[in-house]
């Protein structure tokens, strides 16, 4: 096949621009069509070459003037160049389509300017001549100066002028640099200069510095970037898309090219400037309310990150292009898409994006872009993030990783906060009428994002998350199943619910045989347990837009997590379940801030896991999860700490727990049990895996499992304590989950067989009674319209089934015989007896009775006591919410009688890890341990008999009692200021609070809030650097260059 000459890209752009000048001013439509045709043709050429290079074609070199390279300007094109050219020209084409009205209004001149701008960026990518680079750069600057004026915002004028001022400075540095570099090397050709001894000469190194710093200045480095933010805020969104996605890409590539001349000496400077910009811009982004300015900060930050990566290209080696390209392309597509979206409505506050909710498709696209920017699977940034952290850690760049992850977390914060606004804030009444072509462009951008996701998956050395071509269908299906729900989201909720339940059950049946006992327990809870909870979802009517994709994404992640064979699959699954659950939690009425803190903590935890894996991999990524056992001794404790912290974020161990109560309590009725009963198990599964493989680890003299033991005990104690002081029933249950997870962690950290068995029992029990309690309390809350317990009371007669469920749940949970909780307790005490640490055990013992306190409060204040006047006509909770509760009741009874059903096999499985320890004897109806035996059936009978006797005796005593009508009591005439404070259920445990309240002071919450406020204030304060005065901006550019010079003096 004859490939078109790449000069044609330049010639087409220029020729078309000149041609437009020949047209009459009135022929605007023809001019517009010529523009589009030229851009399409330029994209076509780039696309053809990209295909050729992807097929393995060798890079080509094109000379001009019929003269060989160093003497005339030459172009070079390889895979990277072709990909970027395609990005540039396609983005430009879409932007031109997007700006149809503006372009037709302003006429042929603006179209010519647009074409020249795109041509010039293509030239920056292609040229190998440093002065030619300057010419193209100037073209871009001048064209930007014109394109900025497309905006209807009058302020754009000032922004454009500031840009021109700053570019004058850049020009001075660049030209001086170029001429001295020419003098030192005798050439203007980048490759010839790179091969020369230029840097060895005094002037040569300095000249190189000036060239480099001038090009970096085009990347809007902190602090010399105020002008760019002003442009982002005021320019036409179609231009901002170009400015962010295309121009920055060109400048980045120029820096990459020029760095060739500098060898390795200058790479740290690029990394330093890039990182500073990344972190500073993100912090300042925290304080932004204007959407376009926020996107500007984010753009600058992302470009800074890529610059930092360019500086690490020696370290990253082969994966450099994969990493830098992944982040850059994802950023470009997403940022262009978001800028285009911002032009679909007038209002400019972040909260005004709620208007998107009028079109679910747009919400889906919005989250696609946000996910691309934050590097979530399956988008390129995810693969790039993985590679980046592994590459850096393999070369011991720990600080770099820490700073990058810190910056990324801040970016996640403001992007997810924004997403929260879109989903949760009040939608405006008016409707925006978006022209079709604008929507089309946005949709195409999102589609491009998914294509990129697929391509990056193919390019990655690991599994392509979006590909069906994978040997094991069981690994592929979950995500595909979840994605299916994105397509069928328009169906009625009930139909989707049937499909979801059927899918989960079918998947469980298919996987059943391949599970080991541990996986079986977790798998049953996730898939079967999840399906039971979903029965309650039949209650919902309508479409329930967004619920099923989110829920299925979470379940897909969970299902994949437990079968993950290597670190990559594990991490990918972890991120998937995190995103899915985040969307689920966000659905709650008042859940916006809680969902935000959930996602921040979760992604922070995920970063810890990623770093832990990278540290453990030691250049061998991905590795089998099982080989965590073979991690080198010098890094093992750190791997252990990082992974444990990551997993404990999910189990909400004390200190990392503040996201949980709000997230679980504010979630929808059927979501609370999902995120509590099922999702928390992901963290436990991680901890299980960690302890199974790595076992005991010591950091210096400290036994890390002992630390976990303490954390577990403290979490149990404080979680229970805080639960006891809640007024909100769902919050009470949420805090109780924290405590329960503390128990499980404690059991695991005991590092003996019984401890693990106890933890497993908690896995099962906690799922059952927490799901049950959340459902029944949720049903009550639905009927009463409140979750405050002091507003309830006496519901026993009206909602008997809910009462039974709560009662059974409480009996099971508090470890009172005869239900399974007692079995848990029994194993638990056996486990404790066999462990050697007595002090944390006291804490655990202490938390037992406290646990009973909050459970008692729950049943007492909701169902017993006096019925409220306004509740007299209440009905039982809806059928579909009751149904799963009754299933749980039956199961609890069954499990109480034959606990061995599941545990026996697990016990045998655990023997593998503790071969020398005495386990439990499962033969016969009683279970025997070293310390005694547990005979479930006998206990059941004994308790039953006692209960009947006591009940009979009480009935006998009360045989003469007189019935009193409930509402005939006359209260005092005085009406208290806050009526609820007089209710007995208010501040139920006031005496205990007096004694123990100091322990539930929100120290941890205050700590994290303090950090958040400090960062926010820092951002708000430091953004005042950008005074808006063009002269100040120019001066900042001067300061930047001089400071960079001082910093780099060692290199010159």
Task: Report the residue number, 109 or 1016, with the smaller CB distance to another protein.
Answer: 109
Q: 568, 462 in Cβ contact below 8 A?
A: yes
Residue 227 beta carbon to another protein: minimum distance, rounded to whole angstroms? 9
- The length of the chain in residues reads 1052
Q: Does 21 bind another protein (CB under 8 A)?
A: yes
Tell the smallest beta-carbon distance from residue 256 to another protein (Å).
Answer: 21
Answer for which of 207, 479, 835, 906 binds another protein (CB under 8 A) is: 207
27-66: contacts with another protein (CB under 8 A): 62-66
Q: What is the dihedral of CA 586, 587, 588, 589, to 10 degrees?
A: 110
Which of 21/997 has CB closer to another protein?
21
Asked if 1042 interacts with another protein (CB under 8 A), we say yes
What gap in Å lies between CA 751 and CA 698, rounded to an integer? 14
Q: What would the x/- binding string for another protein be over residues 87 to 116, using CB under 8 A?
A: -------------------xx-xx-xx--x
- Would you count residue 864 as binding another protein (CB under 8 A)? no
The enclosing H or E element of 934 equals strand 932-934
Per CB under 8 A, contacts with another protein among 736-795 are none
Instruction: Select from 21-29, 747-755, 935-943, 1003-1011 the region that touches another protein (CB under 8 A).
Output: 21-29
Smallest distance, another protein to C-beta of residue 234, A: 6
Q: Which helix (H) or strand (E) holds 331?
A: helix 320-342
Shortest distance, position 352 Cβ to another protein, whole Å: 19
According to the binding rule CB under 8 A, does residue 1051 interact with another protein?
Answer: no
What Cα–Cα distance (Å) separates residue 789 from each residue in 119, 146, 728? 67, 64, 6
- Draw the binding track, 268-287, toward another protein (x: CB under 8 A; -: no contact): --------------------
Any long-range contacts for 355-359 (C-beta under 8 Å, 24+ apart)? 355/427, 355/428, 355/431, 355/432, 356/422, 357/422, 357/423, 357/427, 358/427, 358/431, 358/432
Residue 210 makes contact with another protein by CB under 8 A: yes
| Helix intervals (H) in 788-819 | 800-814
* Minimum CB–partner distance for residue 178 and another protein (Å): 8
Within residues 437-496, the interface with another protein by CB under 8 A covers: none
Q: Is 1028 in the site for another protein (CB under 8 A)?
A: yes
Q: Are 659 and 585 spatial neighbours (Cβ–Cβ below 8 Å)?
A: no
If the CB atoms of residues 955 and 1042 are measured against another protein, the closer one turns out to be 1042
Measured between alpha carbons, how far is 544 from 550 in angstroms, rounded to an integer?
11
CA atoms of 646 and 625, how far apart (whole Å): 15
Examine residue 1031 and tell whether it contacts another protein (CB under 8 A): yes
Q: How far is the CB of 211 from another protein (least distance, A)?
A: 13
Q: Least distance in Å: CB of 297 to another protein? A: 10
Per-residue contact string for residues 128-167; x = within reach of another protein by CB under 8 A: -x-xx--xx-xx-xxx-xx--x----xx-xxxxx--xx-x
User: At closest approach, how far in Å is the CB of 305 from another protein?
Assistant: 22
- Stretch of 851-859, 897-905, 955-963, 1022-1030 contacting another protein, by CB under 8 A: 1022-1030
Cis peptide before 223 (omega within 30 of 0): yes
Cα separation, 978 vs 986, in Å, equals 11
Q: Supply the minimum distance, in Å, between the C-beta of residue 421 and another protein.
A: 20
Q: In the bound complex, what is the minimum distance in angstroms from residue 141's beta carbon to another protein?
A: 8
Q: Which is nearer to another protein, 51 or 1025 (CB)?
A: 1025
Report residue 576 CA to chain centroid gap: 9
Work out how close the CB of 16 gets to another protein at its nearest, in angstroms, rounded to a whole number. 10
Measured from the CB of residue 96, what is the shortest distance to another protein in angstroms? 16
Binding mask 217-246 for another protein (x = CB under 8 A): ---------x--xx--xx------------
| Binding region for another protein (CB under 8 A) out of 11-19, 641-649, 749-757, 962-970 | 11-19
| Site membership for another protein, residue 11 (CB under 8 A) | yes
Structure tokens at 116: 């020249």
Which candidate, 457, 301, 320, 326, places its Cα nearest to that of 381?
326
20 belongs to the binding site for another protein (CB under 8 A):
yes
Nearer to another protein, 115 or 985 (CB): 115
Distance CA 604, CA 62 (A): 48
Using rule CB under 8 A, residue 17 touches another protein: yes
Residue 71 near another protein by CB under 8 A: yes
Residue 1039, interface with another protein (CB under 8 A)?
A: yes
Pick the piece of the chain touching another protein (CB under 8 A) from 20-28, 360-368, 500-508, 761-769: 20-28
| The token pair that represents 239 in the structure block | 């231009």
> Judged by CB, which is closer to another protein: 272, or 1028?
1028
Interaction between residue 1029 and another protein (CB under 8 A)? yes
Closer residue to another protein, CB minimum distance, 168 or 470: 168
Rule CB under 8 A: is residue 5 a binding residue for another protein?
yes
Rule CB under 8 A: say whether 1041 interacts with another protein: yes
Rounded CA-CA distance 772/761 in Å is 16
Neighbour tally for 708: CB within 10 Å:
25
Contacts with another protein in 630-659 (CB under 8 A)?
Answer: none
Residue 201 lies near another protein (rule: CB under 8 A): yes
State in angstroms the smallest separation of the CB of 104 from another protein. 14
Binding another protein by CB under 8 A: which of 91, 95, 127, 929? Answer: 127
Structural element, H or E, at residue 250 = helix 248-262
Question: CB-wise, 970 or 1046, nearer to another protein?
Answer: 1046
* The pair of three-digit structure tokens given for residue 1021, joined into one six-digit string: 């304060």
By CB under 8 A, tell whether 4 contacts another protein: no
State the Cα–Cα distance between residues 598 and 642, nearest whole angstrom. 19
Q: Where are the beta strands (DSSP E) in 728-785?
A: none
3-state secondary structure of 485: helix
Show the DSSP H helices in 898-1002 as ranges.
Answer: 900-911, 936-957, 990-996
Torsion from C-alpha of 675, 681, 682, 683, nearest 10 degrees:
110
What is the signed CA dihedral for 150, 155, 156, 158, rounded to 10 degrees? 140
Q: Which is nearer to another protein, 126 or 704 (CB)?
A: 126
**Shorter beta-carbon distance to another protein: residue 112 or 850:** 112
Alpha-carbon distance of 416 to 366, in angstroms, equals 11
Q: Show contacts with another protein in window 170-199 (CB under 8 A).
A: 171-172, 175-176, 178-180, 182-183, 186-188, 192
3-state secondary structure of 932: strand
Residue/partner pairs of 204-209 with CB below 8 Å, 24 or more apart:
204/180, 205/1051, 205/1052, 206/180, 206/1052, 207/176, 207/177, 207/178, 207/179, 207/180, 207/181, 207/183, 208/177, 208/181, 208/261, 208/262, 208/266, 209/177, 209/266, 209/1044, 209/1045, 209/1048, 209/1051, 209/1052
Buried b (16+ CB within 10 A) or exposed e, 851-872: bbbbbbbbbebbbebebbeebe
């Amino acid at each position: 096949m004859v490939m078109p000459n790449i000069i044609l890209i330049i010639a087409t752009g220029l020729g078309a621009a000149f041609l437009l000048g020949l047209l009459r001013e009135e022929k605007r439509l023809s001019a517009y069509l010529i523009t589009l045709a030229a851009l399409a043709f330029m994209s076509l050429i780039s696309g053809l070459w990209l295909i050729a290079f992807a097929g393995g074609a060798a890079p080509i070199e094109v000379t001009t003037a019929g003269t060989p390279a160093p003497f005339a300007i030459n172009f070079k094109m390889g895979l990277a160049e072709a990909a970027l050219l395609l990005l540039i020209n396609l983005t430009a084409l879409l932007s031109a389509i997007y700006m149809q009205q503006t372009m037709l209004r302003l006429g042929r001149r603006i179209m010519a300017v647009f074409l020249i701008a795109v041509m010039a960026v293509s030239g920056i990518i292609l040229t190998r001549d440093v002065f030619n680079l300057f010419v193209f750069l100037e073209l871009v600057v001048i064209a930007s100066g014109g394109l900025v004026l497309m905006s209807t915002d009058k302020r754009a004028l000032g922004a454009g002028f500031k840009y021109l001022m700053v570019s004058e400075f850049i020009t001075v540095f660049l030209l001086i640099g170029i001429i001295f570099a020419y003098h030192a090397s005798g050439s203007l050709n980048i490759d010839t200069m790179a091969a020369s001894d230029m840097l060895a000469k005094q002037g040569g190194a300095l000249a190189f510095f000036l060239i480099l710093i001038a090009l970096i200045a085009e990347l809007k480095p902190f602090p010399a970037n105020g002008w760019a933010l002003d442009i982002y805020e005021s320019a036409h969104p179609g231009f901002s898309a170009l400015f962010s996605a295309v121009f920055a890409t060109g400048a980045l590539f120029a820096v990459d090219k020029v760095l060739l001349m500098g060898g390795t000496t200058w790479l740290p400077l690029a990394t330093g400037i890039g990182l500073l910009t990344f972190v500073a811009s993100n912090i300042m982004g925290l304080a932004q309310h204007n959407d376009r300015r926020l996107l500007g900060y984010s753009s600058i930050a992302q470009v800074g990150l890529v610059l930092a990566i360019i500086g690490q290209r020696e370290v990253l080696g082969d994966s450099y292009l994969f990493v830098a390209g992944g982040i850059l392309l994802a950023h470009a597509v997403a940022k262009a898409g978001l800028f285009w979206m911002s032009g679909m409505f007038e209002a400019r506050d972040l909260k005004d994006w709620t208007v998107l909710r009028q079109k679910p498709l747009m919400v889906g696209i919005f989250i696609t872009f946000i996910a691309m920017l934050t590097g979530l699977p399956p988008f390129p940034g995810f693969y790039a993030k993985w590679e980046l952290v592994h590459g850096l850690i393999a070369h011991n760049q720990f600080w770099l990783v820490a700073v990058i992850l810190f910056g990324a977390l801040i970016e996640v914060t403001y992007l997810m906060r924004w997403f929260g606004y879109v989903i949760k804030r009040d939608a405006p009444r008016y409707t925006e009428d978006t022209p079709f072509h604008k929507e089309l462009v946005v949709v195409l951008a999102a589609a491009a994002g998914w294509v990129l996701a697929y391509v990056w998956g193919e390019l990655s050395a690991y599994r392509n998350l979006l590909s069906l071509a994978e040997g094991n269908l069981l690994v592929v299906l979950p995500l595909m199943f979840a994605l299916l729900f994105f397509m069928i989201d328009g169906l009625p909720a009930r139909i989707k619910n049937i499909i979801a339940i059927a899918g989960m059950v079918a998947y469980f049946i298919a996987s059943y045989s391949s599970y080991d006992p541990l996986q079986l327990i977790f798998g049953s809870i996730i898939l079967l347990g999840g399906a039971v909870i979903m029965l309650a979802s039949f209650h919902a009517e309508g479409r329930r837009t967004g619920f099923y994709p989110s829920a299925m994404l979470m379940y897909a992640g969970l299902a994949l997590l437990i079968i993950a064979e290597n670190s990559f699959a594990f991490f990918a699954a972890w991120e998937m379940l995190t995103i899915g659950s985040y969307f689920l939690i966000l659905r709650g009425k008042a859940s916006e801030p809680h969902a935000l803190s959930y996602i921040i903590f979760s992604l922070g935890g995920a970063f810890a896991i990623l770093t832990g894996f990278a540290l453990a991999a030691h250049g061998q990524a991905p590795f089998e999860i099982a080989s965590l056992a073979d991690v080198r001794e010098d890094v093992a404790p750190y791997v252990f700490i990082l992974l444990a912290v990551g997993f404990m974020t999910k189990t909400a161990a004390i200190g990392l727990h503040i996201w949980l109560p709000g997230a679980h309590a504010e979630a929808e009725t059927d979501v609370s049990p999902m995120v509590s009963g099922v999702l928390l198990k992901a963290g436990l599964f991680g901890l299980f895996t960690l302890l199974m493989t790595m076992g005991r680890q010591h950091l210096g003299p400290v036994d890390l499992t002992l630390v976990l033991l303490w954390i577990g005990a403290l979490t149990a104690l404080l979680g229970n304590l805080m639960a006891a002081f809640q007024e909100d029933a769902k919050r009470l249950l949420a805090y109780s989950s924290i405590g329960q997870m503390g128990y499980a962690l404690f059991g695991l950290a005991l590092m003996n067989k019984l401890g693990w068995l106890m933890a497993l029992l908690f896995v099962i029990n906690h799922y059952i009674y927490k799901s049950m309690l959340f459902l029944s309390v949720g049903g009550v809350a639905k009927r009463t319209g409140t979750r405050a317990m002091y507003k309830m009371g006496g519901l026993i007669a009206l909602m008997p089934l809910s009462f039974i469920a709560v009662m059974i749940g409480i009996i099971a949970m508090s470890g009172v015989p005869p239900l399974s909780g007692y079995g848990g307790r029994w194993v638990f005490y056996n486990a404790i007896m066999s462990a050697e640490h007595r002090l944390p055990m006291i804490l655990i013992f202490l938390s037992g009775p406290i646990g009973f306190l909050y459970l008692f409060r729950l049943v007492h204040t909701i169902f017993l006591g006096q019925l409220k006047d306004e509740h007299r006509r209440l009905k039982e909770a809806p059928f579909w919410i009751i149904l799963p509760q009754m299933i749980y009741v039956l199961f609890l009874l069954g499990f109480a009688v034959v606990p061995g059903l599941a545990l026996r096999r697990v016990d045998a499985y655990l023997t593998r890890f503790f071969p020398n320890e005495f386990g439990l004897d499962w033969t016969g109806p009683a279970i025997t341990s070293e310390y005694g035996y547990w005979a479930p059936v006998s206990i059941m009978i004994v308790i039953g008999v006692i209960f009947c006797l006591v009940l009979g005796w009480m009935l006998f005593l009360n045989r003469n009692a007189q019935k009193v009508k409930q509402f005939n009591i006359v209260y005092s005439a005085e009406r208290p200021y806050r009526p609820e404070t007089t209710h007995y259920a208010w501040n139920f445990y006031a005496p205990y609070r007096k004694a123990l309240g100091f322990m539930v002071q929100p120290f941890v919450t205050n700590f994290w809030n303090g950090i958040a406020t400090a960062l926010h204030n820092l951002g708000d304060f430091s953004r005042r650097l950008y005074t808006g005065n063009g002269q100040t901006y120019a001066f900042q550019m001067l300061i930047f260059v001089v400071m960079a010079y001082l910093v780099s003096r060692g290199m010159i």
